[in-house]
Structure 1
């Protein structure tokens, strides 16, 4: 049953926090989460964002938890080819352009990006503080697989449009993608990890493994390691699983060497 949307800052923060804590249980280092101080993060003001963000978004990003990668990781992935945004990294007066390229989508001031893809293929996660919804976008696929909360651009009054440098019409394409009540979005993402439809590696990268058994032998082997280590039960042995995944990926593992010395 679909939850009724409606923006609630504290509920949004709780949903993001719970999701990040779930990911640390599965594969992220326990100390990855940066919890906000009671007064919120010191993040640049509205005028430092280009395009600008409204006060509701600024209030949200000042009170969200963020993820910081360990020294040997360049970034933290929170879904398939989706890197977590850390707004505490913003420094100086800006302007800081943190939205996707306009060719992919325009974003209104009440929408904030929580995750982005580093390449052409992968996912973005957006939070709409006006509707209280979360949207999962793969712009290479287009708006396929829309939900009842997705929007047809032709029916959206006041949607942003712009003419690009080469004369093409730029639009808010994010609205057409699968959209959920915020809590439902993170429940859905969590279930995909639980069911091993998306599988993390020990270096933090996350990929789809959705083929039926026998078709994707490498994926079958990765899933088997997680299940043999107890995933997703409470008895899941995360350190053992990540050690075995590192060996599966052919990575040298100083932690394994230290364990052997003991």
Structure 2
């Protein structure tokens, strides 16, 4: 594998690297009708057209009448712009757009089938096992877990319960792969501060509880009537609420990764489309997927050791990131460089300095909190 740490860093926001672009890039036509523009209370609007909403023409019909005082100037400008667009050619109705999409469906299906066939032909389980092993070893080397936290195959004590796996419905390809995967020991994989994805732990298929949960993970296990996953799918991560699905398709050799909530909160309708939303998740070649995750951590585009929700050193989601959290990010990044990451890495020195720095940051945060309460 090339030296991923030397690959140019391009900032990508969360949920990258855990969510990546699909092998298929669907294209959708954006509506440009003024009826689809969102106006706020001040009369401002947002449009994806990228065109100027003002009109320099002197057409007398373009101005507001005295009876239109309740319509904002910006809304009238958009309607006027839309009217001039109508002159340039006929606009498709929503029905016509729907008809076009239906007519295009065979092409999209053919592209999907071809992409799946290509992925299946390229799938090398040995390569995927090797990359997952490299990822775990990388994270252990960086201090996420102790170096003895990885359990390597063959798994003998305890083994993967093949009889139970068969009873649960896993395919032979899924069972064969779980026997060859490395796993993280329970002590390093059962607490939020040890997770590499927030509220999500690594699956360990020598644990019969994980073996059962892998067939019906969150949230599907809580949906009445929801069937188990397709039997050739092997979840590599087991999420809780607001966690993240990372599912390996052992038939196609792709990863399906997406939020465990899929935008849902509260009651979920008993709908087969909701039950099988994982089938419509982005498809990423498994080898490409894990290579990208390895790159993200090795290049320090994402940080281990720190709480998973803070692993982005250029965080843009949390506008009000607490000072102590930002100090942890900055200190951690500096210590990795100071201790020779990645080519002259001094792990013990790093861990000693990081523990001291983290304790000092926490102490300052507590002192500041006490001062604010006075």
- TM-score using structure 2 length: 0.50
| Paired residue secondary structure (2:138) | helix
Distance 1:40 1:47, change over 3 A: same
| Paired residue secondary structure (2:128) | helix
Partner of 1:155: none
Partner of 2:19: none
The answer to which structure has the higher helix fraction is: 2
Partner of 1:100: 218
State the structure with more CA Rg: 2
The one of 228, 232, 235 equivalent to 1:113 is 235
Query: CA offsets per residue over residues 80-126 of structure 1, 9 Å max, x none?
Result: 543111111227xx982332321689621110011123x42232211
Partner of 1:86: 204
| Paired residue secondary structure (1:247) | helix
RMSD (Å) for aligned C-alpha atoms: 3.7
Partner of 1:224: 334
Distance 1:167 1:142, change over 3 A: closer
Partner of 1:175: 279
Distance in 2, Cα, partners of 1:237 & 1:187: 24
The one of 308, 312, 316 equivalent to 1:206 is 308
Deviation at 1:47, TM superposition (A): 4.8
The one of 184, 200, 225 equivalent to 2:288 is 184
Matches within 5 A, 1:14-29: 14-27=130-143, 28-29=145-146
The answer to which structure has the higher strand fraction is: 1
Distance in 2, Cα, partners of 1:32 & 1:52: 29
| Paired residue secondary structure (1:200) | coil
The answer to whether the Cα contact below 8 Å between 2:313 and 2:330 also exists between their aligned partners in 1 is: no
Q: Does 1:123 align with 2:244?
A: yes
Unaligned runs of 5+ in 1: 144-163, 252-262
Query: CA offsets per residue over residues 31-51 of structure 1, 9 Å max, x none?
Result: 111111289973223555785
Distance in 2, Cα, partners of 1:181 & 1:247: 41
| Paired residue secondary structure (2:213) | coil
Distance 1:52 1:101, change over 3 A: farther
Query: CA offsets per residue over residues 173-201 of structure 1, 9 Å max, x none?
Result: 22343432111111111111123332222
